[in-house]
Structures are given as structure tokens and as C-alpha cells.
Amino acid sequence: MSYSGFNIPKREDKITFSSRKKYKISLIVSEWNSQITSKLLKGAVETLTQSGISNENIFITKVPGSFELIFEAKKKSKESKFDSIIVIGCLIKGDTKHFKYLCSSISYAIARINLKSLIPVIFCVLMDNNVEQSIERSGGKLGNKGADAAFTSIKMMELNN
Ligand code: DLZ
């Protein structure tokens, strides 16, 4: 597997594992390119539950496209119900200028939400040149970025605790 830059945590002890039962996580998922986002979601949920997060503390909200991740993340970050949020989307370059503006506005907006929010908002939005690249990053040769985002959210919740 190619190096993705992500540090996969080693096996955790029982105490670390059980201390995570209390964490509540919001997963906001774009339905655009759902053949990819559903795999990212699966990778995130499996990693969270395998790392000690309870199934009943994982809250999934679907939005139509990645642009709508912004509004939903803003709303959820103010609810004081969650310990972290993961936004999941997949932008694939097309023939119009949508890709360029969606990529920059979504990353900028999620960064701005993080500046104000008291809980971390983890960015799991693929921005690929073609669907093959997205397949590689959603459970293919380059791993599953949903799983990476889940590990990141756990690390950030533990830092923020
Ligand atoms: C319009 C659009 C386009 C062209 N491409 C994508 C994409 O690759 N991935 C994605 O998640 N969403 C795309 N969208 C939809 C926008 O995110 C948004 O849903 C609409 O512009 C409505 O606000």
C-alpha cells in the first residue's frame, strides 16, 4: 500500500478502549457520488466501533451534495450534543468550473467552522481528478480515507477531553 501520511494507531489497552464509550460523533455524508461516500462512511463506522465507540453514539445525517456539508456541520457544531463531527464527501473533476469552486469553498468553510467550533470537525472530502482515484481512496489501493478520518476524530476528541 502507498504511504498516505496517516499514522494508524497500534492496539490500544482495555482502559483506553472503554474510555471512548462516552464519545458522541456526528457523521455528515454527501449523497452525491454515493458509490464512493457510502464506502467512506462504512470505513469510518467500522473504525469507530472497532476503536471502542458505541454504535448508539454514532449519528449519521445525509445531505444532497458536498456543498451542503457546510450548513449541516455549522448547525451540528452548535448543538452541544456531539464530541466531534466528520464530514464525508466526494468531489470529482468534471468539464465545468464547479469542481474548482466547490473544492475551495467547502475546504474554506469547514476550516472556518473549526475556528469557531468547540468540537473538532474532521474533513473527509475527496477531491479527485477521476472516479478511479476516488475508488483507490475509499477502500482500494490507497486505503480508506473514511477510516483515517475516524482515527483522526478519536485522537482529537481525546485531546479535547
Ligand atoms: C453540482 C455538483 C457537481 C458538479 N459536482 C459535485 C461533486 O462532484 N460532488 C458533490 O458532492 N457534489 C457535487 N455537486 C453538488 C453540490 O455539492 C451541491 O449539492 C449543489 O450545488 C446544490 O447546492
pLDDT tens-digit series, residues 104-136: 999 999 999 999 999 999 999 999 999 999 999
At 144, which CATH number?
3.40.50.960
Active site residues: 98
Q: 5 in a domain, yes or no?
A: no
6 CA to centre of ligand 1 in angstroms? 27
pTM as predicted: 0.95
- Calpha distance 41→28 (Å, rounded): 9
Band the pLDDT of 2: cuts 50, 70, 90. low
CB 135 within 8 A of CB 94: no
| Atom number, ligand 1, closest to the C-alpha of residue 63 | 19
Task: Output the residue whose Cα is nearest ligand 1's atom 3.
Answer: 98
94 lines ligand 1 (CB under 6 A): yes
Q: What range defines the domain where residue 94 resides?
A: 21-160
Q: What is the pLDDT of residue 105?
A: 98
CB 73 within 8 A of CB 87: yes
Band the pLDDT of 50: cuts 50, 70, 90. very high
Q: 147 in a domain, yes or no?
A: yes
Q: What is the mean pLDDT of residues 68-72?
A: 98
Count the domains in the chain. 1
From the list 4, 63, 60, 59, the residue with the least C-alpha distance to 33 is 63
What is the bridge-based pairing of β-strands 143-144 and 138-140? antiparallel
CB 155 within 8 A of CB 16: no
Q: What is the pLDDT of residue 65?
A: 98
66 lines ligand 1 (CB under 6 A): yes
Band the pLDDT of 3: cuts 50, 70, 90. low
From the list 39, 15, 27, the residue with the least C-alpha distance to 126 is 39
Q: What is the CA radius of gyration of the chain?
A: 15
Q: 121 in a domain, yes or no?
A: yes
Q: 59 in a domain, yes or no?
A: yes
Q: Is the pLDDT of residue 102 over 70?
A: yes
Q: 1 in a domain, yes or no?
A: no
From the list 10, 6, 95, 88, the residue with the least C-alpha distance to 42 is 88
